[in-house]
Structure 1
Amino acid sequence: MNVLIAGAGRLGTQIAQVLAAAHNEVTLIDADDDRIAELEGRLPLRLVAGDACEPALLEHAGALPADLVIATTGDDEDNLVISLLAKRQFAVDRVAARVNDADNAWLFDQRWGVDVAVPAATPLISLIEEATGTTDTVALLRLSKAGVSVIETVITAHSRTAGHVLADVRLPEGTLIATIVRDGQPTVPTPAFTLRAGDELLLVSHTATEQEVHAAFQ
């Protein structure tokens, strides 16, 4: 999937890291040249310096082939302009935008090209799922210095582990289940915990890849 992210602040950078780790083609844009320079060489993605509210810059950054545009700047007006350009001028299939001020939430709809409006307080996991439609395994966080990854996988009705207890699942070496979220409630599972469709598992590993975790559960 080709992804264009406008805004290289904390949220935009985290989203870019997650989607790049999940093997998407990601371009991150920011108007601050110093911020882009700071990120050079640190992220496995394309960085573009410039104002994403400018159609020419968006086109240069790759808006035409983009499957998803995410506007995560700290300015609601900018996020709306970016969303409208992405949808109307570049016909991007899916556009998500961050809502910084709750009073402006009513503006973030399809009239402004926004498919998914994301309140500023939305957890990163939910934001990624809402923006991309991802319900499979996603690398949520890579702690490069510690060599640790936090990986999420979601049990579906088609998962081969649905209906099985955790004791039956052979986890990749060096991998632990940190928590399972069921019906919005997190729990620390026991080996007797029975998995069912809709369960969200967060695993911590210093060796396993997303593909290995996917293979264990799906």
Structure 2
Amino acid sequence: MIAGAGAVGRSIASELLENGHEVLLIDKSPEAVSVARVPEAEWLLADACEITSLDEAALERCQVVIAASGDDKVNLVVSLLAKTEYGVPRVVARVNHPKNEWLFNEAWGVDVAVSTPRLMSALVEEAVSVGDLVRLLRFSHGEANLVEMTLPDEATLVGTRVGEVAWPQDTALVTIIRGTKVLIPDPDDALAAGDELLFVAAPAQEERLEELLSAHRRGRRRQRE
């Protein structure tokens, strides 16, 4: 179920339908309920913040709820109801304003919070930053983040095998992007300058991870803007 049938909600619905999912779009605005735009989806003209509406939608049947409206208050209420009243296994919520991001956590029923402003700023940082850890996505339910760092030329880990690195606790290297190749990390793989490393890491370990990856070779002084 997708709460919010605006441009974002409809786009998500179209993608999911193409991948073989069944999708229900809910919006309380008659102008937003445009069946012709996503004819393969089910539609419901209703307020997704009302229990009666969610009963009508048979939310207990849903495996995933996406709170995709342009109002953070609505997205939080939908997330909380979906998780606590209907036991939906996975709840994904859109964050519209960065100042509200701290609210989108397990206490409000959110498993994954997607902040468009943060994603855009992260993509900019990722494009221009080498040697700095960039947070790409926060996984609310697991208290972990998806983070990325491009290994600088002077890093001490250049040439070190993955299996020889003492990674911080609660940190997992999930992917190495090397040029046009996406590599599944192998203990015998040697890290190379320019590698884009993607980790799932606990927030408390991010500083230690950045220090480990960006440490300069002996004789070089670490500098940051």
> What TM-score bracket applies, with the shorter chain setting the length?
0.5 to 0.7
* Larger radius of gyration between Structure 1 and Structure 2: 2
Q: Could you tell me the TM-score, scaled by structure 2's length? A: 0.53
TM-aligned CA deviation for residue 115 of structure 1: 0.5
In the alignment, which residue of structure 2 is the partner of 1:82?
A: 78
Matched, 1:31 2:28: yes
Matched, 1:106 2:102: yes
Matched, 1:71 2:67: yes
The percent identity for this pair of structures is: 40
Structure 2: state its 5+ residue gaps.
121-135, 141-174, 186-225
* Amino acid aligned to 2:27: D
TM-aligned CA deviation for residue 66 of structure 1: 0.6
In the alignment, which residue of structure 2 is the partner of 1:60?
A: 56
Q: RCO greater where, 1 or 2, for CA within 8 Å and sep 6 or more?
A: 1
In 1: Cα distance, 2:29 partner to 2:8 partner: 15
In the alignment, which residue of structure 2 is the partner of 1:136?
A: none
Instruction: Please provide the CA RMSD for this pair.
Output: 2.6
Contact 1:33–1:50 under 8 Å retained in 2? no
In 2: Cα distance, 1:195 partner to 1:118 partner: 24
Structure 1: state its 5+ residue gaps.
132-181, 199-218
Q: CA offsets per residue over residues 128-187 of structure 1, 9 Å max, x none?
A: xx89xxxxxxxxxxxxxxxxxxxxxxxxxxxxxxxxxxxxxxxxxxxxxxxxxx8578x7
In the alignment, which residue of structure 2 is the partner of 1:18?
A: 15
Matched, 1:93 2:89: yes
In 2: Cα distance, 1:59 partner to 1:66 partner: 12
TM-aligned CA deviation for residue 108 of structure 1: 0.4
Alignment: residue pair count: 133
Q: CA offsets per residue over residues 95-149 of structure 1, 9 Å max, x none?
A: 01011110011100010000001102447xxx9xx89xxxxxxxxxxxxxxxxxx
Q: Could you tell me the TM-score, scaled by structure 1's length? A: 0.55
